[in-house]
Amino acid sequence: MAVRPSHPGAEQFLPDTRSLDALRSAAARCRGCDLYENAAQTVFGRGPGEARLMLVGEQPGDVEDTEGKAFVGPAGRLLDRAVGDAGLRETATYVTNAVKHFRWKGARGGKRRIHEKPSAGQSAACRPWLAAELAAVRPTVLVALGATAAGSLFGPAFRVTQQRGTMLPWPPEKGDFAGDPTPIQAALATVHPSAVLRARDEDRAEAYDGLVRDLRAAAEGLR
């Protein structure tokens, strides 16, 4: 079943010039879906334009929303460590998210903002930014972190639990990126670093090792 376009989408906010700088400034004004209303700012991707590795997360978290930078909170710190342990510390890397605004709900009576997964419609609305980043950076290897990113990149039928760590052809056969012309050598999906943080104490080391293993498999695509 097709996802009903419940949002206008980001397409009309894309600039004529598609450099990362131009995209970042234009994205700051995006109103392609309702998520801009309750978030502090657009959190665009970060990293060098000539990055060979692109990591795609779900959406900015609380810290990212406040600071305006992708993956600078607890999940970002864990991801940094995993990237290092996978031998990718020296690899020029671009990090971004499938959705550029923080979706959250308030705890009853409290001040804490609780993360809420973006909907398929919001993910679809934001996809033009991700597609434009992919076209501007043209990475050699592309990694989806978690189900939201994997769904946006490889189509809604993709299952991270079953297909994680497996090198995938690019473009994918299904989804909105089918036929995408970016010459990517290897694409792969793995778990989200937040899932490692959320794992039970006794499962966390194994979850972390799994993330590192998958990132190491992605590194093979850089050779």
Query: Binding to ligand URA by residue 45, rule CB under 6 A?
Result: no
Sheet with 141-145: strands ordered across: 93-97, 53-57, 141-145, 186-190
Binder of ligand URA out of 10, 35, 70, 86 (CB under 6 A): 70
- Name the one range near ligand SF4 by CB under 6 A: 76-84, 85-93, 98-106, 203-211: 98-106
**Would you state the structure tokens that stand for residue 39, as one six-digit string?**
């978030």
**Which residues make Cβ contacts (< 8 Å) with residue 175, sequence separation at least 6?**
151, 152, 153, 154, 155, 156, 158
Phi, psi of 141 (to 5 degrees): -130, 135
- Tell me the closest approach of the beta carbon of residue 60 to ligand URA, in angstroms: 5
- Is residue 141 classed exposed, middle or buried when 0-12, 13-18 and 19+ CB atoms within 10 A define those classes? buried
Kindly identify the residues of this chain, within the stretch 99-128, that bind ligand SF4 according to CB under 6 A. 99-101, 122, 125-126
**37-76 footprint of ligand SF4 as x/- string (CB under 6 A):** -----x----------------------------------
- The C-alpha atoms of residue 150 and residue 140 are separated, in whole angstroms, by 17
- Tell me the closest approach of the beta carbon of residue 175 to ligand SF4, in angstroms: 17
Query: Binding to ligand SF4 by residue 32, rule CB under 6 A?
Result: yes
Measured from the CB atom, the residue of 33 and 82 that comes closer to ligand SF4 is 33
Binder of ligand URA out of 26, 35, 51, 59 (CB under 6 A): 59
Amino acid identity of residue 6, one-letter, is S
**Start-end of H helices in the chain:** 20-27, 62-67, 74-85, 120-137, 147-154, 160-163, 193-198, 201-220
- Tell me the closest approach of the beta carbon of residue 59 to ligand URA, in angstroms: 6
**10-29 footprint of ligand SF4 as x/- string (CB under 6 A):** x----------------x--
